[in-house]
């Protein structure tokens, strides 16, 4: 311990990249921070490297760590999600007292958070599952923070978290999301939208490359897009990645990187949860599947050997028109992905009785997090103005999608004709056309279900459930 009398306002357990950066962020805002890591050498390394940056109380044992904290104690766990988190909770809770707050800032599954919150509540402890987005740099300089848990715990914890979060015009990108798993759920869907956003960006690059633009030229296109309504962190870093030249080969780095996208699981969780909740998030699902397909060498080499098709060459006479069309497709697909993700949060909030304020979600995603984008201010405004079943029904959004759709359709048609896969753009467009359709072929699906399984169907002209005697005289009976 560096001091035996001073008390810390907050403590961080787990001093790998996220935990140490978060601790430094608290310290840079004038807070005294207690530190503990399972392997003491890591704590020592952090103190050597950054100890002079602020007021840190480095503790060699959990007992000393807990003793150094003001009450109610605010303990932030930043360890590997899963069993690591459970192990730390079990150890630290022995030293805590009723009213103390345990925060899990890792990427936990929201069902784990619900379980942990329930168990700790029974012991008089507050458990706050908190989404934190922004990667290493965000943790250090200001992340977007999505805390769940009891409202009472937010009273004691919120001001500290708001202090270290990213700011937009002085407003913190941190807000209370709702009870138990709400914070981690919102973070999970944030990541799902991030998957879709990145997939659309990759498809835009692919279409433009197939039309003959070099990586450097596509980089310039993205730089230009970043000055308009597509302005966002991911668009900005796309232009940087595309501009990077590989030192070893002299080629654009993107052409040297292995084309197999990996994933850590939050996109998959988003889709699994959407399936459970019955919320269609096909753009996110396609993005998860696109990553899986890219990372499936046996499937891809079998396909390359056996399947024929167009050679991806896009015949384009007017490059600028194509660039404008792709911009419209990217913007439209992005709006659909946000609409789907927010719909999933709204549905989960109703299912779990969380009371999540969607306008607040959009507000705290405006800075600090990976999907920060100019569009989010507009989305915040739309949800703040009134209750929306879907973002797509907001008047100005619907009008703009209406104007963009011809370009969006051209991109999907052109790419598909040339054999350039655009699963994200086309999934988004299929969703758009599905939700606006006055009538769907689901009627035939119902007819087939009734034929083979007597599952019955409804009729458009009167209420009730009906069954056709398919293997009899084919008359209709009321079920």
The set of catalytic residues is 187, 194
Q: Three-state SS for 87?
A: helix
How many CA atoms does the CB half-sphere of 403 hold within 13 Å? 8
Nearest to 56 by CA among 128, 99, 132, 3: 3
State the minimum distance, in angstroms, from the CB of residue 90 to ligand NBP.
10
Q: For residue 477, list its beta bridge partners.
A: 467
Q: How far is the CB of 75 from ligand NBP (least distance, A)?
A: 13
Q: Which helix or strand (DSSP H or E) is residue 11 part of?
A: strand 10-13
Please give the biggest Cα pair distance in the chain.
Answer: 90
Stretch that binds ligand NBP, among 35-43, 65-73, 116-124, 312-320 (CB under 6 A): 35-43
Piece of 80-88, 173-181, 268-276, 395-403 that binds ligand NBP (CB under 6 A): 80-88
Residues whose CB is less than 8 angstroms from the CB of residue 31 and which lie 6 or more positions away in sequence, other chains included:
8, 9, 10, 54, 55, 160, 163
Binding of ligand NBP at residue 219 (CB under 6 A)? no
- Nearest CA to 278 among 339, 340, 321? 340
Mark 97-126 with x for binding to ligand NBP (rule: CB under 6 A) and - for no binding: ---------xx-------------------
How far is CA 153 from its chain centroid?
Answer: 25
The yes or no reply on residue 364 touching ligand NBP (CB under 6 A) is: no
51, 54, 84, 423: residue in contact with ligand NBP (rule CB under 6 A): 84
> Which is closer to ligand NBP, CB of 104 or CB of 203?
104
Residue 362, interface with ligand NBP (CB under 6 A)? no
Residues 6 or more apart from 47 whose CB is under 8 A from it?
Answer: 35, 56, 58
Contact characters 40-59, ligand NBP, x per CB under 6 A: --x-----------------
Q: Please name the residues in contact with 101: beta carbons below 8 A apart, sequence gap of 6 or more.
A: 72, 73, 74, 75, 125, 126, 127, 128, 149, 153, 156, 157
CB of 136 to ligand NBP, least distance (A): 5
Determine which residue in the list 8, 12, 15, 367 makes contact with ligand NBP, applying CB under 6 A.
15
Look up residue 355 and give its two tokens.
Answer: 């009371």
Cβ-based neighbours of 56, under 8 Å, separated by 6 or more: 2, 23, 27, 32, 33, 34, 35, 46, 47, 50
Which residue is listed with tokens 């800032």?
A: 105
**9, 25, 37, 165: which one binds ligand NBP (CB under 6 A):** 37
Q: Does 25 bind ligand NBP (CB under 6 A)?
A: no
Stretch of residues binding ligand NBP (CB under 6 A), selected from 81-89, 309-317, 321-329, 402-410:
81-89
Judge contact between 366 and 375, C-beta under 8 A: no
With binding defined as CB under 6 A, does residue 18 bind ligand NBP?
yes
Q: Which is nearer to ligand NBP, 15 or 414 (CB)?
A: 15
Give alpha helix (H) positions in 365-422: 375-385, 395-418
Least spacing, CB of residue 91 vs ligand NBP, in Å: 7
Among residues 51 and 280, whose Cβ is nearest to ligand NBP? 51
141 binds ligand NBP (CB under 6 A): no
Interaction between residue 447 and ligand NBP (CB under 6 A): no
Q: Is residue 136 part of the contact set for ligand NBP (CB under 6 A)?
A: yes
Segment interacting with ligand NBP, rule: CB under 6 A, options 1-9, 34-42, 413-421, 438-446: 34-42
- Compute the least distance from the CB of residue 115 to ligand NBP, in Å: 16
The reply to whether 11 sits near ligand NBP by the rule CB under 6 A is: no
Number of residues that bind ligand NBP (CB under 6 A): 22
Give me the residue whose beta carbon is nearest to ligand NBP.
106
Distance of alpha carbon 234 from the chain centroid? 13
Sign of the Cα torsion 265, 286, 202, 346 reads: negative
Residue recorded with tokens 């009627």: 443
Q: Least distance (Å) from ligand NBP to the CB of residue 441?
A: 42
Q: Which of residues 374-403 bind ligand NBP (CB under 6 A)?
A: none
Smallest gap from Cβ 35 to ligand NBP, in A, equals 11
| Interface with ligand NBP (CB under 6 A), residue from 11, 14, 72, 192 | 14
Contact 475, 468 (CB under 8 A): yes
Q: In 10 A of CB 313, how many CB atoms? A: 12
Interacting residue ranges for ligand NBP, rule: CB under 6 A: 14-19, 37-39, 42, 78-81, 84, 87-88, 106-107, 132, 135-136
């Amino acid at each position: 311990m560096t001091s035996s009398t001073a008390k810390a306002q907050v403590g961080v357990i787990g001093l790998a990249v996220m935990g140490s950066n978060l601790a430094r962020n608290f310290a840079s805002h004038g807070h005294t921070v207690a530190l503990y890591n399972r392997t003491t050498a890591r704590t020592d390394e952090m103190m050597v490297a950054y100890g002079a940056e602020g007021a840190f109380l480095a503790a060699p044992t959990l007992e000393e760590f807990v003793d150094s904290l003001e009450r109610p104690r605010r303990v932030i766990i930043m360890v590997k999600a899963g069993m690591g988190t459970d192990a730390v909770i079990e150890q630290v809770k022995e030293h805590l007292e009723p009213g103390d707050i345990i925060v899990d800032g890792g990427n936990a599954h929201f069902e784990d958070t619900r379980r942990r919150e329930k168990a700790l509540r029974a012991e008089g402890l507050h458990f706050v599952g908190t989404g934190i987005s922004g990667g290493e740099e965000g943790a250090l300089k200001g992340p977007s923070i999505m805390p769940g848990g009891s409202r009472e715990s937010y009273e004691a914890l919120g001001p500290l978290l708001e202090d270290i979060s990213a700011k937009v015009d002085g407003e913190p990108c941190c807000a209370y999301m709702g009870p138990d798993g709400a914070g981690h759920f919102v973070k999970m869907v944030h990541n799902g939208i991030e998957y879709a956003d990145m997939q659309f960006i990759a498809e835009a690059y692919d279409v433009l490359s197939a039309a003959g633009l070099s990586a450097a030229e596509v980089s310039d296109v993205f730089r230009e897009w970043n000055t308009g309504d597509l302005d966002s962190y991911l668009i900005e870093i796309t232009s940087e990645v595309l501009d990077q030249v590989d030192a070893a080969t002299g080629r654009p780095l993107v052409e040297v990187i292995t084309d197999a996208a990996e994933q850590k699981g939050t996109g998959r969780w988003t889709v699994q949860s959407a399936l459970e909740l019955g919320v269609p998030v096909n753009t996110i699902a396609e993005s998860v599947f696109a990553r899986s397909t890219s990372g499936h060498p046996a499937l891809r080499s079998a396909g390359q050997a056996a399947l024929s098709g167009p050679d991806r060459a896009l015949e384009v006479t007017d490059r600028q028109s194509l660039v404008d069309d792709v911009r419209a497709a990217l913007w439209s697909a992005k709006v659909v992905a946000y609409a789907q993700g927010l719909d999933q949060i709204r549905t989960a909030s109703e299912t779990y009785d969380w009371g999540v304020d969607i306008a607040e979600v959009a507000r705290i995603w405006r800075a600090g997090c990976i999907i920060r984008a100019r569009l989010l201010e507009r989305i915040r405004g739309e949800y703040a103005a009134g209750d929306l079943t879907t973002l797509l029904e907001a008047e100005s959004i619907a009008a703009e999608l209406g104007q963009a759709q011809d370009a969006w359709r051209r991109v999907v048609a052109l790419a598909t004709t040339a054999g350039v896969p655009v699963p994200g753009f086309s999934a988004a467009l299929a969703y758009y056309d599905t939700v606006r359709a006055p009538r769907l072929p689901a009627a035939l699906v119902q007819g087939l279900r009734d034929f083979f399984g007597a599952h019955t169907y409804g009729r458009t002209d009167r209420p009730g459930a009906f069954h056709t005697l398919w293997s009899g005289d084919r008359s209709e009976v009321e079920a």
